[in-house]
Structure 1
């Protein structure tokens, strides 16, 4: 079956990004045993990612690159926050390099990575870990099927065969 809106797509992928030495390194994979399964056309995935899959059908191999702009955006130097140490209530301070679950004033949840610890604050980088990175995807379309009415009402896929996970 060809991929179209309101179909459920299961695919494998290897995601490569450029390393500091200029080579590409594998950062994420979805395998045949653990495929990525998603409801196509509802905005779950990066729009350009879906656009590249729009002509494919079950069994097709694919490979494409997304520029940083088409993926998670350019790295934003401004997106760095100083969190007062009092926020941690005397708990152990997070380690540099660790990820903190944060929430903004509107209740949106996001992650920040601790970049350094100053005298009275913890400095956190709020950029997506892949901001500024071009993404190189390679994989295979394992399965395409029509979404079930339940999946459409929930707005997401319930796994490769449409049944709930137990």
Structure 2
């Protein structure tokens, strides 16, 4: 039976969880996720878990933060003067915002703290610094 290898187009069903069992994403009830294995489209640990699987195989992969979204970086947490925000924006802790980079690309950020004249913004990925667990089933190799 054929096994998935780097360069293959694959489709998987998956459920992503934190180590406490909290589900943060799943393909349940949706089309399977398709990607090119080893092309950098997925986090390193997910790619590694699928590599070598055969159609129908199921695996539970425990992925350390370093092989997932990396460690949270302090340099991606910064202060923004409220005067630099849109006037109609009422920032709240936990609020998701999009920040524009000089090249026009939008980057998702989270409001970490709100002070009198400053809003503390966190540009780390929401799953940075977290170990993850994925239940993966390989459903297709193209």
TM-score range, shorter chain: 0.7 to 0.9
Q: Which runs of 5+ in 2 are unaligned?
A: none
Following superposition of structure 1 onto structure 2, how do residues 13-162 of structure 1 map, counting pairs within 5 Å?
A: 13-18=14-19, 23-31=20-28, 33-145=30-142
Aligned match of 2:3 = 2
Please report the RMSD computed on the Cα atoms of aligned residues, expressed in angstroms: 1.8
Contact 2:37-2:51 within 8 A present in 1 as well: no
Deviation at 1:106, TM superposition (A): 4.9
CA distance in 1, matches of 2:69, 2:55: 27
Q: CA-to-partner distance for each residue in 1:88-133, whole Å, 9 max, x for gaps?
A: 2312223221111113345553211001211112111111101111
Q: TM-score, normalised by structure 1?
A: 0.76
Q: Which runs of 5+ in 1 are unaligned?
A: 146-166
Q: TM-score, normalised by structure 2?
A: 0.87
